[in-house]
Structure 1
Amino acid sequence: MNRMPSPGFRGSVLLLMLYAAVLSALPWRLPKAQLLALFAENGPVENLSVIAWLLLALLCLLHVLRWPRLMLPAMLTALLGAAREQDLQNAITGVNLFRLKWYLTADAPLGLKLVAGVTLMLIVALLLHMLLLAAQAYRQRDTRRQQWAWTLLLALAVAAASLGLDKTQALVHDATGHWLHERASLWVKALEEGLELALPLVFASALLQARRMRRSAW
């Protein structure tokens, strides 16, 4: 059984690396004002990310009746991605929904913490469900199934990288007592926002690969 990613997948990884290299060069090629405007909150890149997530949700909706086990959680994940770009994860608690310390130390009503905790568990359950589907596909002998599993794992890796970049500034400050140098801070912002724009496209690629398997039972 072939366990290695296909040449097409390796090409996708290479393309993503080239895209990241272009993003990394922008802080040294663009004036600061232009860069900040490009990657600002509610700026062009963030708005494009929201549109990409909503288009992905629509793509999933069009196929949800045929592949509900995959497309329904994927659609919900896409909607959550759009909501995160609009900072709606703060709407329930007033702080980041994923800040675990808030559940233990914040002086907030127990009911609010329960609602936030259930919401957080549903989000985690969606991601685990999709990971389970990818693991099941990877164990099959059909190379096409393995292909979409590899692409989904690539999307999750991009998501992890974006989240890590989002925390870089705070982590460096906590560890050293200093903020990142301005140019390094701009590099982190460009790479983070740029990868967030690429993320729904990588997810869409995985789902389009899954769509080709019309006879598969999800």
Structure 2
Amino acid sequence: MITGASSGIGAAAARWFTAEGAAVVLMARRKDKLDEIAAEIRAAGGRVEVAAGDVIDTDAVEQAVATAVNTFGGLNGAFNNAGWGTIGTLVHETDDADFEKTMDVNVRGTWNCLKHQLPVMLESGGSVVNTSSTAGTFATGAGAAYVAAKHAVLGLTRAAAAEYGPYGVRVNALIVGTTRTELMENAIRAFPPLEEGAVARQIQKRMADPIEVARTAAWLLSDHASFITGGAIPVDGGSSAI
């Protein structure tokens, strides 16, 4: 199951996971985009099902999990990647609506996913990867709401790893640096200096390509990472090292 699968990292993950042999359920709000990606995957011989919906809606998440179980016989891996944020503003200048949406998508969305995915994984084991950010480890210049939300994602990840590890379920997070997603491109168009500042923080002096994040998620979800749980793996071009 991949959330935020209609573009960026989620869409890259959909293509990569299926190319590696996984059967996937794609979840995002934009069904038309999901259908396009699903058609492309099926044309390449991949196995995919669409479960459009918003991760804020717990019933929609429950339905996506049910789609995985009913279509493919279970749920062994989940990439909880859906996220949302705005260009950084001072706390007192941040709209309450932006704060609430940031917390809803990033924190409640991850919570909803874990709440419905983990019980299914108790039956046969599994692995979960949640998308956090460098903003989950330090103040990156992103808005305080986003920094707080991504810290919360790491807290959820570690707590779930501790609770479900004895049952054969691994839960990890990705510390994602600036990535050239659709959301980032829109932000750069709205505020062009954002790109220069983002690249300057990277040791490699570039943004990540979404596929670079997707490949790391695939590795964490696989048995190749069988002794890693409760971890926060950086995919950030070295920005957290300096």
The TM-score with structure 2 as length reference comes to 0.31
- Greater relative CO (CA pairs within 8 A, separation 6+): 1
The TM-score with structure 1 as length reference comes to 0.33
More helix by share: 1
Give 1 or 2 for the bigger CA radius of gyration. 1
More strand by share: 2
